Amino acid sequence: MKSFVICDAKRKVMVSAPHAVTQIREGKEKYAEPETGKMAEILYERYDIPCIIKVNNHGDDANYDIESDYRDALESYINAHSVEVLLDLHQMSQERKMDLCIGTGKGRNIYGRTDILDVIQNTFVEILPGPVMTDEPFSACYPYTVSSSVSRKCKIPCFQLEFNSRIFQKNGTAEELCEAIDKVCRYVEENAD
C-alpha cells in the first residue's frame, strides 16, 4: 500500500499535504492534519492544481525525516512537469494565536519572490479573522521540511502554509481557503519569473 498519491494536473503551482494522516517523528505518533488532505483534493478536483497527499502512515514523517520517498517523488514530479511554485499545507494547534503562519525559511525558500509572499499575505488577511504571520513560529528552515528540501533541490519558491486548526470548525472553511489558494496560483501564472 502506497503512502502517498500524486494527482497530475496542468497548473504551474503544486500543493503538498504531507501530514494528512498521522506520522511518526522520533518514534512518537503525531496528530494528523486531515483538513490539508481535504484541501489538496478540492484544489485538484475543482481548480486543476496538481497535488501530493500522504494517505497512509508508513512510520515516517515526510516533513522531518532525512530520507523521504514522499519528497523524492514530489521533487521528481516538479522537475518533470515544470512546476514553478510549491505550497506545502499544514495545520497548527488551535491554541496558537495566529490563523496562518507562512514559512519561507526566513526568505531562503522563496528565491526572492516576495511578490508572491505579499499576495499570499494579502489574500489571507482578507478572509481570516486572526493574525497572518511570516516565519513565526514556523519558518520551514529545517533542511528536511518539504518546503526547504524542495526549494533547495528544485530551485523553485516554496511556501509552507500552516493554518490554525480552529478555523476549520466553521463549515465551508476548506472551500474558502481553496478559493484563496487558487487566487494565489492565478497570480503566479500571470506573473511568471
pLDDT at 29 over 80: yes
In this prediction, residues 48-61 reach a mean pLDDT of 96
Residue type, 13: V
Q: What is the pTM of this model?
A: 0.97
Q: What confidence score (pLDDT) does residue 150 get?
A: 98
Q: Number of C-alpha atoms within 13 angstroms, CB side, residue 82?
A: 5
Q: Which residues, 6+ apart, have CB-to-CB distance to 87 below 8 Å?
A: 13, 14, 15, 16, 158, 159, 161, 181, 184
Q: What confidence score (pLDDT) does residue 193 get?
A: 64
Q: Number of C-alpha atoms within 13 angstroms, CB side, residue 84?
A: 16
Cis ω for the linkage preceding 137 (within 30 of 0): yes
Q: What confidence score (pLDDT) does residue 192 get?
A: 79
Q: Where are the beta strands (DSSP E) in the chain?
A: 4-7, 13-17, 23-25, 28-30, 51-54, 85-92, 100-103, 132-134, 158-164
pLDDT digits (tens, 9 = 90+) for 78-117: 999 999 999 999 999 999 999 999 999 999 999 999 999 9
pLDDT digits (tens, 9 = 90+) for 125-136: 999 999 999 999
Q: What confidence score (pLDDT) does residue 149 get?
A: 98
Q: What confidence score (pLDDT) does residue 170 get?
A: 84
Q: Which three cell numbers stand for residue 65?
A: 525525516
Whether the CB-CB separation of 158 and 85 falls below 8 Å is answered with yes
